[in-house]
Amino acid sequence: MNWSMPRPILQIVALALGGACLASFAVGVVTAQPPARLPGEKASASGAATPVIEAQEAQPLVEERIEGPPAPPPLTEEERERIEAEKAAKEEAARAKAEAEQAATAGGAQPPTEKAAEPAEKAQPKAPTPKPAPRIEEPPF
């Protein structure tokens, strides 16, 4: 390759960069703190006093997490009556709807369907729209 500096100077620069990398790694190893220990872990055999890690985010196990959510409170008489009234109203509405449909089919008239109620232009299937071609991104450089 055609470099802008003579080869011996490039070798010196490469040696300086490599030395700087090794020196920074050595300084990091020398100044590193000793590893901390977890709560309940015994101290090392060397006898060096290391601090215990304090777990800030730790949350105690609660009964709900172990046993599941608690049972819902019992219903009062008013709530039971209200729920039974709602069920009876739904059943009555379903029964009335079924009777109306039965009466409509027995009389010879068919119940209106959704397709019959649509205008003619909506009933025809639409042509699928063509998908646009994916854009080709150019590299940023």
Does 40 reside within a domain? no
Does 87 reside within a domain? yes
pLDDT at position 75: 85
Does 93 reside within a domain? yes
Task: Look up the domain containing 97 and give its range.
Answer: 77-103
Does 83 reside within a domain? yes
Does 72 reside within a domain? no
Does 52 reside within a domain? no
- Which residues of the chain have a pLDDT value below 70? 1, 3, 37-40, 43-61, 63-65, 108-128, 133-134, 139-141
Of 77, 66, 68, 37, the residue nearest 54 (C-alpha): 37
pLDDT at position 136: 72
**pLDDT one-digit tens code per residue, 125-136:** 666 677 776 677
Overall number of domains in the chain: 1
* pTM for the full predicted model: 0.29
Does 56 reside within a domain? no
**pLDDT one-digit tens code per residue, 108-127:** 555 555 555 555 555 566 66
> What's the CA gap between 23 and 71, in Å, rounded?
64
Does 84 reside within a domain? yes
